[in-house]
A and B are shown apart, each in its own frame.
Chain A
Amino acid sequence: MSTDPQVSPELAGVQVHGITRETFILRGAIAAASVYGAAAVGPFVGNALAATGGGDVAILNYALTLEYLETAFYNVKGRSLKLSGTAKQYAQQFGAEEAQHVAALKATIKKLGGRPVKSPTFVFPATDQRSFLALASTLENLGVSAYNGAAPGIKNPAVLAAAGSIVQVEARHAAAINLLIGDSPTPDGGFDKTKTMSQVLAAAKPLIMT
C-alpha cells in the first residue's frame, strides 16, 4: 500500500499471499520461537514479537533496530561532533543511506502486516573524530555480521534479496571506515563471520538507553 519512493525495487516485490493476518502472525510466532528460543529474545525482539508475531517481520524489526542505531549515530552524534574531511563526508553519506534503510524496512514490515518497532534512545560514547570513527567501525562491522547471521533464516525470497542489498552496503561502509582508521578492510579475512541475534543485541546493549 505504501508508494514510498524510498522503497527499493526488491522490497516493492514483497507480498503476502492468500492467508489471513491472524494465521500469518500465528505461523510467525511459532517460527520465531523455534528459531530463536526464549533466551535469545531480547527487549527489541520482544517488542517485535508483541508488535508483529515473529518470522520475517521479527528479523526485519531486528534489522530496523540496528538501522535506527546507525542512523542516530551518524546523523545525531555525528553532527554534534566537529568532524572534518573524509570522516565528515562519510558520516553524511552513510547517515543518509542508513536513513533510507530505516524507511525501507519500516515500509516492508508494514507491507507484511507487521508493526515496525519504535526507535530506542541511544547513547554513544564518542567524544571526538577519532573515537567516533572507532565506534563507526565497530557498528558497521557488527551490522554486517548481524545481517549475514540473520539472512539464512529469512523465508520470503524478496525479503532475503532486500537484506542482501542492504548488507552489501554495510560491508562497503565497514571497509571504507576501516581503511580510514588504518585497519584492515577485511578484519575477518576471506570470509565474513556471522553473529547471532543475542550476540548482536548484547553488543548493542550498552548503547541503548531505553
Chain B
Amino acid sequence: MERKRFLKMAGGGAAASFGAFVLAACGGSSGSSTATTAAAPASTTAMHSSASGDLAILNYALTLEYLETEFYDKVVAAKLFKGATGDLVKTFAQQEQEHVDAIKATITKLGGTPSAKPNGKFPVSDANRVAQLAYTVENLGAAAYLGQAARIKSKDVLAAALSIHSIEARHAASLATLVKKPITPDGAFAKPADMQTVLVAVKPFLA
C-alpha cells in the first residue's frame, strides 16, 4: 500500500513512458548507447536534463537508503536493543527498506537504472555507540534530502522525496531522545547538506 502510494506520487503512467522515450533518445542514463536514430522533439533537451537530473538525485537517495538499511540490518542482527527501543529500531529498519524499494521502483518506472547496492561497513559494537551513529546517519539523511528538494524538477518526485525527508527527520528526533542529544540540532531551521558534503561524510562507511 505504501509503495503504491509512493509510486503514484512519483510519476503516473504517461509521464513514465515519455521519460523512457526521452532517455532512449538521449542514449540512456547509464551511458550505454542503445541505438536510436529517432529525431528528438525540440523540448527533449530540456526534458532530458530534467529527467536525468531527477534520476541522478533519486539514485543518490537510493545509495543513502541502501547504506541506512545495511546499517540497521546489522544493528537488528546484533540484538543490541531490547523492548520498546528494539521494536523502534526494527521499525526504522523496515521503513528504510521501504524507501529502497520505492526509490528503485520509481527509477525503473522513469526509465532509469537503479544504482547498485554499495558495500557498507559500520562499527556495531555497543548499544550506545550504535545509537549515536544512527542519530548521526539519520540527521545526515534528512539534511541530504533537504539539500536536494529545490533541485528536483518533477513535482511528483518532489512530493515523494518530501514524504521520505520528514520520515528521516522523525527517525533522527527519535534517536535524539535515546542518546540525549538535541531533537533539533540546527534549531528552528534545519540545515541542508549538498551532495558533495554528504558523499564525503558517508565515505568512511563504504567498504
Contact = CB atoms under 8 A, between A and B. Distances in A.
Q: Do A and B assemble together?
A: yes
Interface of A: 8, 10, 93, 96-98, 100-101, 104, 144, 148, 151-152, 157-158, 160-162, 164-176, 179, 184-186, 189-194
A160 B150 contact: yes
Interface centre among B164, B177, B184 (most CB of A within 10 A): B184
Interface centre among B6, B142, B169, B171 (most CB of A within 10 A): B169
Contact of B173 (A97, A104, A185): A185
A10 B189 contact: yes
- Size bracket of the B interface: 35 or more
* Interface of A, helix, strand, loop or mixed by DSSP: helix
Contacts of A172: 169-170, 172-173, 176, 183-184, 190
B100 to A, nearest CB: 10
B95 interface: yes
Interface in B1-30: 2, 5-6
B46 interface: no
Contact of A165 (B98, B146, B160): B146
13 contacts: A93-B183, A97-B187, A164-B165, A167-B165, A168-B165, A169-B169, A169-B186, A173-B173, A184-B91, A186-B167, A189-B98, A191-B5, A194-B163
Nearest to B158: A152
B162 interface: yes
Given A172-B170, A179-B177, 4 more contacts: A168-B166, A174-B170, A186-B91, A190-B99
B177 A168 contact: no
